[in-house]
Amino acid sequence: MGKEKITIVGSGNWGSAIARIAGNNVKQNPDMFDEQVKMWVFEEEFEGKKLTEIINEEHENRKYLPGVALGENVVAIPDIGEAVKGATVLIFVMPHQFLVKTLDQMEGKVTKGIRAVSLAKGVEVNGSDIKLFADIISERLEISCAALSGANIANEVARDRFSETTIGVRKKEDGDMWKKLFTTPKFRVSIVDDVAGVSLCGALKNIVAVGSGLADGLEWGNNSKAAIMRIGLMEMKSFCQEFFEGVKEETFLEQSAGVADVITSCLGGRNMKVATAFVKEKRSFEELEKEMLNGQKLQGIHTAKEINTFLKARNRVDAYPLFTNVYRICWEGKPAEELTDGL
Ligand SMILES: NC(=O)c1ccc[n+]([C@@H]2O[C@H](COP(=O)([O-])OP(=O)(O)OC[C@H]3O[C@@H](n4cnc5c(N)ncnc54)[C@H](O)[C@@H]3O)[C@@H](O)[C@H]2O)c1
Ligand SMILES: O=P(O)(O)OC[C@H](O)CO
Residue 294 — very low, low, confident or very high, per pLDDT cuts 50/70/90?
A: very high
- pLDDT of res. 247: 97
Residue 278 — very low, low, confident or very high, per pLDDT cuts 50/70/90?
A: very high
- CB burial readout 190-199, b (16+ within 10 A) else e: bbbebbbbbb
Alpha helices in 68-121 (DSSP H): 80-84, 99-106
User: By three-state DSSP, how is residue 267 classified?
Assistant: helix
Q: What are phi and psi of 41, to 5 degrees?
A: -115, 125
Q: Is 61 in the pocket of ligand 1 (CB under 6 A)?
A: no
Residue 100 — very low, low, confident or very high, per pLDDT cuts 50/70/90?
A: very high
- pLDDT of res. 33: 98
Choosing among 3.40.50.300, 3.40.190.10, 2.40.50.140, 3.40.50.720, the CATH entry for 4-193 is: 3.40.50.720
CA 242, CA 233: separation in Å to the nearest integer?
A: 14
Rounded distance from Cα 193 to ligand 2 centre (Å):
23
Averaged pLDDT, 14-42: 98
CA 178, CA 168: separation in Å to the nearest integer?
A: 10
In 10 A of CB 159, how many CB atoms? 12
- pLDDT of res. 342: 94
The pTM score is 0.98
Catalytic residue list contains 205 = yes
Q: Long-range CB contacts (< 8 A, 24+ apart) of 281-289?
A: 285/330
- pLDDT of res. 83: 98
Rounded distance from Cα 264 to ligand 2 centre (Å):
8
CA 62 to chain centroid, in Å, comes to: 20
Residues in contact with ligand 2 (CB, 6 Å cut-off): 121, 151-153, 209, 261, 264-265, 269-271, 299
Q: Is 127 in the pocket of ligand 1 (CB under 6 A)?
A: no
Q: Is 66 in the pocket of ligand 1 (CB under 6 A)?
A: no
Choice among 205, 225, 237, 273 that is catalytic: 205
Q: Where in the chain is the domain with CATH 3.40.50.720?
A: 4-193
Rounded distance from Cα 187 to ligand 2 centre (Å):
16
Pocket test of ligand 2: the residue of 65, 118, 152 to mutate, having most ligand atoms within 8 Å of its CB, is 152
Q: Where in the chain is the domain with CATH 1.10.1040.10?
A: 204-338
- pLDDT of res. 206: 98
Averaged pLDDT, 194-209: 98
**Does residue 1 register a pLDDT over 90?**
no
Q: Is 150 in the pocket of ligand 1 (CB under 6 A)?
A: no
Atom of ligand 1 nearest to the CA of 15: 16
**Does residue 335 register a pLDDT over 80?**
yes
Atom of ligand 2 nearest to the CA of 270: 1
Instruction: Report the top-level CATH class of 204-338.
Output: mainly alpha
Q: Tell me the ligand closest to 207's alpha carbon.
A: 2
Averaged pLDDT, 108-130: 97
Rounded distance from Cα 270 to ligand 2 centre (Å):
6
